[in-house]
Amino acid sequence: MSVLAFAEQRGGVLRQVALETVAAGRALADGLGVELVAVLLGPPTLANEADRLGRYGADRVMLATAEPLADYAPEAYTDLLARAVQECGPKALILPASAQGKDLAPRVAARLKAGLASDVTELAVEDGRVIAVRPVYAGKLLAKVGFKTDPALLTVRARAYTAAENPRPGEVEEMTPEVDPEGLRTRVRLVAGEKKARPDVAEAEIIVAGGRGMQGPENWTLLEELADALGPGATLGASRAVVDAGWRPHAEQVGQTGKVVAPPLYFAIGISGAIQHVAGMRTARCIVAVNKDAEAPILKVADYGIVGDLFEVIPRLTQEIRKFRSEG
């Protein structure tokens, strides 16, 4: 018996969510009293990364490398994951709730005719059954679900589990992938990688989000400076109002028709706190709000608020953070 964890890579390097998926898998495998097998698919250079999966908690690693697996290849990845499931007969298969995981998991579920719980934030074992908690209605409610089919398929939300060193044998077994590039009907090419200066809003440690109170896209330099001061883990977010107004790209939108996020620290700057926005960020560990309106709903969900003119408060905040960062 086992739990399988899909370890996502990009450009031959494990992504942070791969280690988080392994951490979630480790917790579930321990709860079930079974071994954890990580599945790693990618280019030939990937073999160097397989050892890290053992260090982060995988008992075994199933590795399939081939040039056509370098970028995400939906059909080939589906075939290989389905094959890993057939070989291991796991109780559960966990994928990250990343762009790739959310595309791949439904394909595998349809292939296996197995139930899939998306975007899970909490996993548990009750009477030997896998139980998952997942936000629905963008987090306005939480659904606790059980599985009627085996294996339980899950995608786990970024930052729901923390990657931690937990050394295991991590013995690597090579799967021989038989990938015929001609047989792949979908060709996928990654255009931008993670070279971009800031992390994705769904995966960032700190989010500096701006709303209509920013008064215009030209004022975003204020938030960029604050994010820069906070360090490389910080990124920019936006409310629906400013995305709809065309001030910021949709990729930054937090809320019900944007991304649901759970960073350790969230700054809501000039955001009033509409219900659909709050649903998307209420599970942040710490929320800071800056708003000129003392009655703004965002101040009721924020851990710390400052009432005042953001054009005065934010530069000061950036300055104070730079000061203590430079003090080390």
Indicate the Cα dihedral angle 268, 272, 276, 280, nearest 10°. Answer: 10
128 binds another protein (CB under 8 A): no
3 state SS of 135: strand
Among all chains, which residue has been given the structure tokens 């350790």?
A: 264
Q: Which is nearer to another protein, 32 or 153 (CB)?
A: 153
CB of 288 to another protein, least distance (A): 7
> Of residues 77-106, which lie at the interface with another protein (CB under 8 A)?
78, 98-100, 102-106
Range list of H helices, 46-139: 50-55, 74-88, 99-112
CB of 131 to another protein, least distance (A): 7
Binding segment for another protein among 27-35, 83-91, 130-138, 218-226 (CB under 8 A)? 130-138
- Where is 314: in which H helix or E strand? helix 310-327
Half-sphere exposure of 13 (CA within 13 A, CB side): 6
Binding segment for another protein among 27-35, 112-120, 161-169, 170-178 (CB under 8 A)? 112-120
200 binds another protein (CB under 8 A): yes
> Of residues 245-304, which lie at the interface with another protein (CB under 8 A)?
249-251, 253, 256-258, 260, 264-265, 274-276, 282-283, 285-288, 294, 299-304
Strands 35-42 and 171-174: unpaired
Q: Which is nearer to another protein, 111 or 181 (CB)?
A: 111
224 binds another protein (CB under 8 A): no
Binding-site size for another protein (CB under 8 A) equals 98
How far apart CA 189 and CA 71 sit, in angstroms, is 6
Among all chains, which residue has been given the structure tokens 């097998």?
A: 37
Q: Which is nearer to another protein, 149 or 171 (CB)?
A: 149
CB of 155 to another protein, least distance (A): 9
How far apart CA 136 and CA 256 sit, in angstroms, is 10
Angstrom distances, CA of residue 30 to CA of 26, 153, 182: 6, 17, 41
182 residue type, one letter: E
> Of residues 132-171, which lie at the interface with another protein (CB under 8 A)?
134-149
- Name 141's Cβ contacts closer than 8 Å, sequence gap at least 6: 135
- Are residues 92 and 152 in contact, defined by beta-carbon separation less than 8 angstroms? yes
CB of 12 to another protein, least distance (A): 16
> Of residues 1-30, which lie at the interface with another protein (CB under 8 A)?
none
CB of 194 to another protein, least distance (A): 5
CB of 190 to another protein, least distance (A): 5
CB of 177 to another protein, least distance (A): 19
